[in-house]
Amino acid sequence: MKGHIYLKLGVICLLFTSLLASCSKTEYEPTKLPYKEITKFAIAGFVAGDTVTGVITTDEILVYWDQAVPLPETITPKISVSTGARISPAAGTTVTLHEQTKFTVTADDGSTQDYRIKFILQQPDPIILSTNTTVLQWTDSPFLGITGQYFLAGGDPTNIRVFARRLRDGVEFDLNVDPGYTKSVALRASLPAFTTASDTGRHDIFLSVAQKTIEVSKVRINAPSLRSDFFSFTRQPSSLSAGDDVSILIDDKAAGAILKLYRGRFAEVWLNLEQSSPNSYKQLKISNVTEDGNTIKFKIPADASTALGYKLTSIFFRIKDTSHWEGYQTYSHITGDKNITIQ
């Protein structure tokens, strides 16, 4: 009887093991993706080196083309499609244009979708995609870079205008457009030469193409930097002591046009001192700073007595930065020969 039971148990175990083995060998077919969209379609633009990007609908590729520019006879598009899909004619293939020109996308699961290309003749409005900065600085900023589409829609690069409008008073002025970098999809524009009429603050930037004007961005235009060679002593001292009056003359090399943008903003003076033997450094901070025309005046502080024998290596001016209400800009006057001693 026991043997009969053991035999039945053995058969059951064998069947269970076989069942597990058959389950472990089950293979599943990977799911075929049904996606068959064109995600990007671009062709050569109105001039060499430019591109025009098509607008993709359910079954069409819409290309907005300047009516003043002849349609191309052939195109060699750059195309992106859904993951796992393929397109015919393939991306990069030269295709002759006619009314029946179409592209067929085949999904991973074998389903297809036809897209016919359609040129819409018009003078397209320029489109802004991005800019490279929100801050420009007179004399120091290299350029404002603008990317987008249809910047050459007017057909003539010389008709492109980039200009700024100051928010404070509405004053407008043109930026210089770089003709060597003017493309349908990108522009570079720089501030004009700095003059006594130049000012700072928030500005709106606009782009005009063939009598159509759109806003590009908002930027802040800051004052030019105060270079070290703008500063000099009104009278070069051989030594300085606590309580001495010091006057620094500022010649901005621009007939005062730069200095006027800094009036009332000189907040602190820092004297950098050095002793060679033993090697040691000190700083003296001066907060009582006055302005008289193009001259900055201050007194050597009482704590200069802690630096007797030290040489003056440089003077730093901290400027209230109006672009950051609690920040500062720092500019230096380098004495160069280190022949001014604290006594």
pLDDT in tens, 230-284: 888 888 788 899 999 999 998 988 888 888 888 888 888 999 899 887 889 999 9
Amino acid at 48: A
Sign of CA dihedral 169, 170, 172, 178: positive
Residue 70's nearest CA partner among 99, 50, 46, 42 is 46
Q: In the CATH hierarchy, which fold is given to the domain comprising 38-122?
A: Immunoglobulin-like (2.60.40)
pLDDT of residue 159: 83
**Long-range pairs for 232-237: beta carbons < 8 A, 24 or more residues apart:** 232/333, 234/295, 237/340
3-state class (DSSP) for residue 104? strand
Asked if residues 148 and 125 have their Cβ atoms less than 8 Å apart, the reply is no
Note the pLDDT of residue 74: 95
The DSSP string of 127-178 is: EEEEES-SEEETTT---EEEEEE-TTTTS-GGG-EEEEEETTT--EEEPEE-
Question: Token pair for residue 325?
Answer: 């209400």
pLDDT at 11: 47
Domain chopping of the chain, boundaries: 38-122, 127-222, 228-342
Fold match, 38-122 / 127-222: yes
Pair of tokens at residue 98? 């006619």
> Please, are residues 266 and 288 in contact by the beta-carbon 8 Å criterion?
no
DSSP assignment of 187-231, as one string? EEEE-----TT---EEEEEEEEETTEEEEEEEEEEEPPP--GGGE
User: What is the fold, at CATH topology level, of the domain defined by 127-222?
Assistant: Immunoglobulin-like (2.60.40)
The pLDDT value given to residue 324 = 47
**How far apart are alpha carbons 57 and 77 in whole angstroms?**
17
Which CATH number fits the domain 228-342, given the four candidates 2.40.160, 2.60.40, 3.90.550, 3.40.50? 2.60.40
Task: Name residues of the chain where pLDDT drops below 50.
Answer: 1-3, 7, 9, 11, 324-326
* Those residues with Cβ within 8 angstroms of residue 39's Cβ, 6 or more apart along the chain or in another chain: 56, 80, 81, 82
